[in-house]
Amino acid sequence: MGASDEAASSVRPARAAGALESEGLEGLIAAVLAGGRSARFGSDKSRARFEGETLLERVRAVLSAVVDRVVTIGGAASEVAEPEPGAGPLQAVIAALREARARGAGGALVVACDLPLLDVATVRQLAAPLAAGVVGRVPRVDGRLQVLAAHWSVGVLEALEQAWDAGERSLTRLCATLALDVRDDWDARALSDVDTPEALARLVERGPTAEVTVWRWPVGEAASPGFAILAKASSDRVAREEPLEIVVDGAPLAVLLRTPAGVDDDLSLAAGFLLAEGVIDRMADLDGLGPCLDPAAEHRENRVLVTLAPGVRVPDAARRSFATGASCGLCGKTTLASIVQRLPERAAATAPRLADVQAMGAAVRAVQAGFAATGAVHAAALFEGATLMSMAEDVGRHNAVDKVFGRALRRGELPLRGKVLWVSGRVSFELVQKALVAGVDGLVAVGAPTSLAIELAERGGLHLAGFVRDGRANVYAGALDGGRG
């Protein structure tokens, strides 16, 4: 979820064009298994919350983006009668298929509610038409059949009912007797179920967003023209930013800053980076690509291990400190330990005045000749109070900031006490690091900061404000004089 004031508490996927219709035998329904209280979870999983909504709400929303009719089976919200409530997955699938038959549908997607990372792409993969003679599609993840994230044909209902009447209660065991489409090419992250509150908490911690405290302006009635006092803080979500170390044949090659979104995404990022840098030309150039599985390794969740095929080596050009691009200013760092550099000593930073901060955007726009002509460059500017001291433009955000600070360095003006850096885009870790090294008191951005940027700003005593535009300002670290009470 975005950090803007209008952001809702949850984001529901919009129905995509071409969503499957549930009318007729070619259609599908979807059934979410709510289940009720779980012994291992200690409470009703369906009511557990993840990123602002319950697990039941979340899974239903994803299914609704693909399938027209979604029902809940089990628990307090159950809409469909089960043969024997609480008796396990087999009777839940039977209940779902009976509902599909009653609605004239050809099958049912039956999905447990404890899949918080389920996504539309995976549901579409499940919902694809079954081949002739096949009665179901069941993913196999890490060698285990995921029977509660499966596509079942109404044609298998009679066989399931007969097995139930004969005393069979194991859906997994029954799968061995059925003509199923069993595949291994699934996104394991999207099909990761949670059995305990701790497992759910780990997903929250490693997800693509992080919850932070933000002070918003304006709130309530203005205390004086152009000012409002923030009476309380509110929560918001920002993009999570963490380093990913790529280790090739046992040696660190590069560290990329990325949004963590699971092992599969990390492996794809590493493979794409190696391809772009000329290390590999095809997947056959790799003998191994996987996460670090050593439980004793530090930062193992942020490390990818690569083994090159015989005869393939890292080109000398790729052994350099990778050149800074327009989006990442730390790609040249080759160890995780080098990310957080020793920060220079600095006096306590003075909070920028809210009125000054609100005037900065207009002052920069008035002199942004490059942006006015092209719309394709970023800007960075140095302010003392409301006075624009220096401004630079560049296609790269980091380049624009380096130009401003480099100019001050050449003039012998560092450290820049009492000054504020304004940037035209978002704020990532590297920009906060640059601001702290240059010694400015504050960093003001038109866009949002990342989780790592906020963490470093708090650690370094930097006043950090984002979404400073259209009369608004969100304070993520430190304060604004006149804008936080």
What is the SS3 assignment for 172-239? HHHHCCCCEEEECCCCCCCCCCCCCHHHHHHHHHHCCEEEEEEEEECCCCCCECCECCCCCCEEEEEE
Tens of pLDDT, residue by residue over 69-105, are: 999 998 877 898 777 776 788 988 999 999 999 999 9
Amino acid letter, residue 351: A
Provide the number of structural domains found in the chain.
Answer: 3
Q: How far is CA 86 from CA 36, 76, 314, 369, in A?
A: 8, 12, 56, 68
The structure tokens 């693909």 sit at 66
225 is a domain residue:
no
Whether residues 331 and 365 share a domain: the answer is no
Pairing of strands 286-291, 303-308: antiparallel
Cα gap 114→149, rounded to integer Å: 10
432 is a domain residue:
yes
24 pLDDT tier (thresholds 50, 70, 90): very low
Asked if residues 316 and 446 have their Cβ atoms less than 8 Å apart, the reply is: no
CATH assignment at residue 386:
3.40.140.10
Sign of the CA dihedral running 359, 363, 364, 366: positive
Range of the domain at 408: 354-477
* Active site (annotated) includes residue 328: yes
Identify the CA nearest to 378 among candidates 401, 354, 353.
401
Tens of pLDDT, residue by residue over 256-282, are: 888 887 777 788 888 888 887 789 888
349 is a domain residue:
no
Whether residues 376 and 311 share a domain: the answer is no
Domain final residue pick, 281, 307, 338: 338
Amino acid letter, residue 321: S
Identify the CA nearest to 350 among candidates 481, 258, 244, 438.
481
Strand partners, 390: 382
Whether residues 323 and 370 share a domain: the answer is no
Whether residues 329 and 445 share a domain: the answer is no
User: Which SS3 state, helix, strand or coil, does residue 131 take?
Assistant: coil
The answer, yes or no, to whether residue 2 has pLDDT greater than 70, is no
Identify the CA nearest to 427 among candidates 394, 396, 392, 452.
452
CATH assignment at residue 252:
3.10.20.10
Cα gap 349→456, rounded to integer Å: 14
Whether residues 158 and 110 share a domain: the answer is yes
402 is a domain residue:
yes
Whether residues 63 and 168 share a domain: the answer is yes
12 is a domain residue:
no
309 is a domain residue:
yes
Domain final residue pick, 338, 368, 391: 338
Q: Helices 451-460 and 429-438 meet at what angle, rounded to 10?
A: 20
Whether residues 174 and 41 share a domain: the answer is yes
Domain final residue pick, 197, 230, 261: 197
Q: What is the pLDDT of residue 118?
A: 87
6 is a domain residue:
no
Whether residues 318 and 406 share a domain: the answer is no
Mean pLDDT over residues 127-151, rounded?
91
Cα gap 465→478, rounded to integer Å: 9
Whether residues 252 and 168 share a domain: the answer is no
Query: Any idea of the CA torsion for 264, 270, 275, 281, to the nearest 10 degrees?
Result: -70
| Model confidence, pTM | 0.55
Q: One of 113, 175, 328, 331 is an active-site residue; which one?
A: 328
The answer, yes or no, to whether residue 295 has pLDDT greater than 70, is no
Whether residues 307 and 177 share a domain: the answer is no
Q: What is the pLDDT of residue 186?
A: 85
Whether residues 378 and 465 share a domain: the answer is yes
Whether residues 42 and 191 share a domain: the answer is yes
Tens of pLDDT, residue by residue over 143-188, are: 889 998 999 999 999 999 999 999 999 999 999 999 999 988 787 8
The answer, yes or no, to whether residue 20 has pLDDT greater than 50, is no
Query: Among 44-48, 418-422, 452-456, which is the least confidently predicted range?
Result: 44-48
CATH assignment at residue 126:
3.90.550.10
298 is a domain residue:
yes
